[in-house]
Chain A
Amino acid sequence: MTVESLIALIPALPLAGFLFAILLGARIDRLPAHGHDAHGAAHADDHGSHSGHGGESHDTHAEVDESAFRPIPSEEEQRATSPHAGHADDLANSNGADGVIPDDLNDGLGQTGHVVEGGPRPVYRSWWVPTALVAVMWLFSMVVFVNVIFGGQTYHVSLYEWIGSGSFHVQIAFLVDGLTAMLLLVVSTVGLLVHVYSIGYMDGDRGLWRFFAYLNLFMFSMLLLILGDNFLMLYVGWEAVGLCSYALIGFWYKKPSAAGAAKKAFIVNRVGDFGFGLGIMMIWTLLGTVDFEQVFASIGTLDPTAVTVIALLLFAGAVGKSAQFPLHVWLPDAMEGPTPVSALIHAATMVNAGVYMVARANPIFAESPVAMWVVASIGVFTAIFAAAIALTQNDIKKVLAYSTVSQLAYMFFALGIGAWVAAIFHLVSHGFFKGLLFMGSGSVIHGAAGEQDMRFMGGLRAKMLWTYLTMVVGSLALAGIPIFAGFFSKDEILGEAFGRGYYLFWAVGLLVAFMTAFYTFRMVYMTFHGRWRGPADAWQHVHESAPTMVAPLVILAVPTILIGLLLGLPPEGGLIHGWLEEVFRGAEEAGAGILPGSLAAGDHAGFSLFGIGGLLLLAGAAVGAAGILLAYRWYVRDPEAPARFVTRIPLGLGPGMYAASLNKYYVDDLYALVWARGGVLLGNALWWVDAKVIDGAVNGAGWVAQRYGALLRRSQTGHVQNYALGMAAGLVVVLVAFLVFRA
């Protein structure tokens, strides 16, 4: 089998998995728990007369299962017994996705299995075909990856002409170069591990088939996005991953907060996608093609202003998809989805799409200094902004969500200053370690009876050793401690910023690195160290997660430790630079990102260990260590210290600053006020117009249509002689019409 055919099969496999799960998944899941082989039985069941719709029909096993959930204390009870009851408003923020759902909502849609031993429980098996297909897809991806990276090949696989209408031609074609291969590595690896992880995490959920169907559809869409060789395929994948993200955030759709978060994610993304769509249309209008190669070859012929507009419109899409300020608000809320979804979509893959797109479109951005400047500025600002929010969040997933926003911002910052390779390097390493951290947090939540608020955790390392160890590895990577992946990629970005003369950006980046280390280890210490602060009886149930969940953590820990060493040494000249050289050559030569006031391209000295580069490396490691140290002092040695520190901030600004950070700098509230409230007002006004004017017209038209319909129906008398008369009349009318038209 040639590599080309493997490439074509890569997106096809998850698509097959999706079709399988959506068509047969519900049937497989409805089989009796201790029944026969899943496959044969699925067909034997062909004539079953199932009542209800979709997969939500009730069977006896599921009914028993519901009662099994009850012994877990509900969130209300926890709140009442907790010493921190006064912070109820904060708790409302952490209305956990994986938290225990009130019984009236739990019809099997809203719970990850947490089943008391002994009770009979349903065994849902619809996961295995989708997972197996993704595993095969992973194998293929690795073959392609090796061929591209080590064989130095670029593959262009053209399947067929999708649209060929007049001058508008779009191919279904795949382009696999170094950049796509790097993305392929992350997407397929994390994708496979999340599938395996979900088997354990979603165990006992009645919507299992739906979950795996969506996951596979997501994999398909994401692969389309990174493999497509033109902007239209990129756009299709882009929208499709957005759709899957919507479906998966709102997976437990009976929970209002999840349904709301799903809508929020979808709507906020619409804003960016609108710009993205306009950008692509503009490309086609001006250049007459959407094919990457052709667009990039001819972009230089355009007016610079037009290029800037195109680049900014494209970037608007990236701001939405990669959750950058001011469209970052959806990502933290997206944590309402099941944690595997957060790990896959909202940390390791989909949110990287914006970074990928900007990197892919580097010839366009390289032509526009203004656009580069905007990318870098948004990146730097979002990095520190999101990190400042992450400092005070109490929900373990929210900390990671803001951290993701901040780290993505790092990548945009790197793209904006022209450090293309560094950005992709950080994307890859971040994909692995953030996926690891999210899955680890899921394991924590799973083990701690659905608790997500870190103030009610503590001491978990005693019961969850594997989760603890792997989470620490991930955290060290995120904090930028030497030898771990994050250290090399982050310091490469900082080094490039310094080397290119962006001293202010470099300083902010360094500060963000410090904050990152601090909040990461604040999370680790609050969760795993100290004493258990949750309800005493819940401690009994705390346990290490199932092997299917722990194994992906351990596997992901390997690249988290190694990938920086393998790809990033020596700094600014590691293997990854060779792999991606071809993709970014044009942009590098154009000197993109070199703004007036910064050093010229030629002055960029490159890395030297015993020179300025070594010092920068040292500084990066030092701030990481300092952040961890501070977190240790504040959250292990002296838990009163943070409160004291807040009061000690001059001018009495401390509590205000704390509240601002905790409340995410009120951006959500501002949006709620302006867009939601304003939207309601505008909506009411429009509604009035709609009800009185439009509906009047529509109802009028409907009334006319119905009247007309009734009239016509009446003409259908059933009497042949009437019909014949009608036809004769029609003949006369046609005759007259011919004569009239002629005259």
Chain B
Amino acid sequence: MVDDLSAILPELALTALVLAVLTIDLFLRREDKWLLTPITVIGLGFVGYTCWTVWGVNQTVFAGFYRVDDLSVFFKVATVVIGILAALFAPSYLAQRKLPLGEFNVILLFSLSGMFVLASSSDLITLFIGLELMVMPAYLLAGFHKTDRYSNEGGLKYFLLGSFASAILLFGISWTYGLTHSTRLSEIGGLLTDGGAAGLIAIAMLTVGSTFKAAAVPFHYWTPDAYQGAPTPLTGFLSVGPKLGAFALLVRVFGDGLGLSGADWYGVMAVLAVLTMTGGNIVALAQTNVKRMLAYSSIAHTGYILAGLAAFAHATDPGVRTQGIEAILFYVLGYGVMNIAAFSVVGMLQRDPRRFGGLSAFAGLAGRAPVLAAAMAVLLLSLTGIPPTVGFFAKLYVLVATVDAGVAWLAVAIALNAALAAFYYLRVIVYMYMREPEADPAPIDRSPLTAFALALSVAGILLLGLFPDPIISFVRASAAGLL
């Protein structure tokens, strides 16, 4: 047993870091602002380290509102990884557009702290607070380019629709409380199932509210607009960070809370998964703008991950049930790294702010920047799910989980969708390697920081594709904390 404050050491560290960055930013001269990036990154590294101090604690604190278990540690570590990548990828892009680095770092860190709270909540109230703490800064990031009307528009839409979804979620929470007289995740499950139709309405609202954040069809409308408007590396973060949080939320609500009544919500979740992956892929097929294509494809990935949740709901054997959760964890982490990096490559081709990252910008990239093209190829292959990349094992994990859970039709849907997705991912590779460059090719951002972050991501993707074992054992140990 540890006391309450030691249990939330990572949260405390992160909050201290936010305040530190906020303060330091005030005292730095304009030409020294770059220091904020190393401070943020090293600070996050330290926060990641503190996460290990609560590994294996597995207890609830603060009178049951907060829960520190290995699952939450996994989500926090993943959050830190994504945060570090986001902090490394963004500065060069922001500098080209004269956007303030300090504000970005602070907003990013606030959003991360929301994800921390979300990951550890054991009560619907904490959950909601964590969620809002995560998405409010995300709205700001979407509209971060204040002088760009697309960015403004995207940010505003994200905010309006996000609030709408939050309202639905909150409504669901009140129904739940009305029916069960409790907001404790560990208590609502059984009571809701006995609640008849009213209980189902509550579950439905919780479903809609939380799948909105994960950008599931048909609650995805905000995604393309918000993603396209946001500064590209920030889009990378938006497409993985809040999604990571959303799945933490889904795992908490549906795994922790409603886990036992899986048969009630399995069907809806499975249908949502198929709708999401198919819808995302089909629209992505039609895109010629790579940024928008990646936005839609990120919707498709949500579908694959939801399939893991459906597998969890359908399985009866405890081992198979956790396999569904393991698949979700593995997928969000792998997807997070590859997607944020893929968006950043698009950003690297937007050194000239008037370029929008269309397919033609990638034409002949292999000749102009062979290493960048190779890195992008690895990322795309990983997103497609081709070995030896982490994307392959992520898909494999979901497939195995669905097949073992006895929902093989979901596995078939995933496989068919992966084939669809291969078309538009590989099309970019075709452009990079087999097309002549444009007459006036887009200038390439070659800042060492971005290159370093890219190298880090690609190395991670390949290493985890070749040696997935450590991460698999990590995921296994974390998911075991749930049950």
Chain A interface residues toward B at CB < 8 A: 23, 26-27, 46-47, 49-54, 57, 160-161, 164-165, 705-706, 708-710, 712-713, 715-716, 718, 720, 722-724, 726-727, 729-731, 733-735, 737-739, 741-742
Most chain B beta carbons < 10 A, residue from A26, A712, A724: A712
B282–A729 touching, CB < 8 Å = no
* Cα-based distance from A735 to B204 in the complex (angstroms): 5
Of residues 221 to 270 in B, which have CB atoms within 8 Å of A's CB atoms? 221-222, 224-225, 264-265, 267-268
Is B139 in contact with chain A by the CB < 8 A criterion?
Answer: no
* Contact of A742 (CB < 8 Å), options: B200, B367, B374, B437: B200
Chain B interface residues toward A at CB < 8 A: 156-157, 160-161, 164-165, 168, 197, 200-201, 203-205, 207-208, 212, 218-219, 221-222, 224-225, 264-265, 267-268, 271-272, 279, 282-283, 285-286, 364, 366-368, 370-371, 374, 400, 420, 433-434, 436-437, 446, 467, 469
Instruction: Name 10 extra pairs, CB < 8 A, besides A46-B446, A737-B271, A739-B200.
Output: A47-B446, A53-B366, A165-B400, A705-B282, A709-B285, A713-B283, A723-B157, A726-B221, A735-B201, A738-B200
* Cα-based distance from A154 to B165 in the complex (angstroms): 65
* Cα-based distance from A57 to B437 in the complex (angstroms): 13
Most chain B beta carbons < 10 A, residue from A51, A718, A723: A723
For residue B219, which residues in chain A have a CB less than 8 angstroms away from its CB?
727, 730
B286–A709 touching, CB < 8 Å = yes
* Cα-based distance from A57 to B366 in the complex (angstroms): 12
* Cα-based distance from A46 to B372 in the complex (angstroms): 12
B469–A160 touching, CB < 8 Å = yes
A724–B164 touching, CB < 8 Å = yes
A54–B221 touching, CB < 8 Å = no
* Cα-based distance from A49 to B286 in the complex (angstroms): 31
Decide if the interface of chain A is mainly helix, strand, loop or mixed: helix
For residue B371, which residues in chain A have a CB less than 8 angstroms away from its CB?
23
* Cα-based distance from A696 to B208 in the complex (angstroms): 38
Most chain B beta carbons < 10 A, residue from A706, A718, A738: A738
A50–B367 touching, CB < 8 Å = yes
For residue A709, which residues in chain B have a CB less than 8 angstroms away from its CB?
282-283, 285-286
Distance (whole angstroms) from the CB of B112 to the closest CB of chain A:
27
Known: A710-B286, A724-B161, A741-B268. A731 touches B204 (CB 8 A): yes
Known: A161-B469, A709-B286, A738-B265. A730 touches B433 (CB 8 A): no
For residue B467, which residues in chain A have a CB less than 8 angstroms away from its CB?
160
* Cα-based distance from A712 to B224 in the complex (angstroms): 12
For residue B283, which residues in chain A have a CB less than 8 angstroms away from its CB?
709, 712-713, 716
A731–B208 touching, CB < 8 Å = yes
* Cα-based distance from A734 to B222 in the complex (angstroms): 19
For residue A739, which residues in chain B have a CB less than 8 angstroms away from its CB?
197, 200
* Cα-based distance from A718 to B168 in the complex (angstroms): 22
Distance (whole angstroms) from the CB of B171 to the closest CB of chain A:
10
For residue B364, which residues in chain A have a CB less than 8 angstroms away from its CB?
51, 53
A718–B207 touching, CB < 8 Å = no
B279–A712 touching, CB < 8 Å = yes
For residue A57, which residues in chain B have a CB less than 8 angstroms away from its CB?
367
B374–A53 touching, CB < 8 Å = no
B367–A723 touching, CB < 8 Å = no
For residue A46, which residues in chain B have a CB less than 8 angstroms away from its CB?
446
Q: List 11 A-B contacts (CB under 8 A).
A: A51-B437, A706-B285, A709-B282, A720-B157, A723-B157, A724-B160, A727-B218, A727-B219, A735-B200, A737-B271, A738-B264
Residue of B nearest to A27 (CB): B370
B221–A716 touching, CB < 8 Å = yes
**Top-3 shortest CB links A-B:** A723-B221, A730-B218, A741-B267
A51–B264 touching, CB < 8 Å = no
For residue A715, which residues in chain B have a CB less than 8 angstroms away from its CB?
221
* Contact of A53 (CB < 8 Å), options: B218, B286, B367: B367
For residue B285, which residues in chain A have a CB less than 8 angstroms away from its CB?
705-706, 709
For residue A726, which residues in chain B have a CB less than 8 angstroms away from its CB?
218, 221
* Contact of B161 (CB < 8 Å), options: A23, A723, A738: A723
Residue of B nearest to A740 (CB): B267
Distance (whole angstroms) from the CB of A332 to the closest CB of chain B:
33
For residue A735, which residues in chain B have a CB less than 8 angstroms away from its CB?
200-201, 204
For residue B225, which residues in chain A have a CB less than 8 angstroms away from its CB?
716, 718
For residue A710, which residues in chain B have a CB less than 8 angstroms away from its CB?
286
* Contact of A708 (CB < 8 Å), options: B208, B282, B437: B282
* Cα-based distance from A160 to B437 in the complex (angstroms): 42
B282–A712 touching, CB < 8 Å = yes
* Cα-based distance from A712 to B156 in the complex (angstroms): 22
For residue B437, which residues in chain A have a CB less than 8 angstroms away from its CB?
51
Most chain B beta carbons < 10 A, residue from A47, A722, A724: A724
* Cα-based distance from A711 to B197 in the complex (angstroms): 34
For residue B224, which residues in chain A have a CB less than 8 angstroms away from its CB?
716
* Cα-based distance from A739 to B197 in the complex (angstroms): 7
Residue of B nearest to A166 (CB): B400
For residue B374, which residues in chain A have a CB less than 8 angstroms away from its CB?
23
B205–A731 touching, CB < 8 Å = yes
For residue B265, which residues in chain A have a CB less than 8 angstroms away from its CB?
738
Known: A53-B434, A160-B467. A734 touches B221 (CB 8 A): no
Distance (whole angstroms) from the CB of B75 to the closest CB of chain A:
25
For residue B420, which residues in chain A have a CB less than 8 angstroms away from its CB?
705
Residue of A nearest to B267 (CB): A741
B212–A727 touching, CB < 8 Å = yes
Residue of A nearest to B216 (CB): A730
* Cα-based distance from A289 to B279 in the complex (angstroms): 42
For residue A720, which residues in chain B have a CB less than 8 angstroms away from its CB?
156-157, 160-161
Residue of A nearest to B441 (CB): A49
* Cα-based distance from A738 to B366 in the complex (angstroms): 50
A51–B197 touching, CB < 8 Å = no
* Contact of B222 (CB < 8 Å), options: A23, A723, A738: A723
Distance (whole angstroms) from the CB of B257 to the closest CB of chain A:
16
* Cα-based distance from A116 to B370 in the complex (angstroms): 34
For residue B264, which residues in chain A have a CB less than 8 angstroms away from its CB?
738, 741-742
For residue B168, which residues in chain A have a CB less than 8 angstroms away from its CB?
731
* Cα-based distance from A706 to B218 in the complex (angstroms): 18
For residue B272, which residues in chain A have a CB less than 8 angstroms away from its CB?
734
* Cα-based distance from A720 to B160 in the complex (angstroms): 8
For residue A730, which residues in chain B have a CB less than 8 angstroms away from its CB?
208, 218-219
B366–A54 touching, CB < 8 Å = yes
A49–B267 touching, CB < 8 Å = no
A737–B267 touching, CB < 8 Å = yes
* Cα-based distance from A497 to B433 in the complex (angstroms): 56
* Cα-based distance from A639 to B238 in the complex (angstroms): 82
* Cα-based distance from A734 to B156 in the complex (angstroms): 26
Distance (whole angstroms) from the CB of B417 to the closest CB of chain A:
11
* Cα-based distance from A47 to B205 in the complex (angstroms): 54
* Cα-based distance from A47 to B447 in the complex (angstroms): 12
B286–A713 touching, CB < 8 Å = yes
B161–A727 touching, CB < 8 Å = yes
* Cα-based distance from A716 to B208 in the complex (angstroms): 19
* Cα-based distance from A618 to B397 in the complex (angstroms): 65
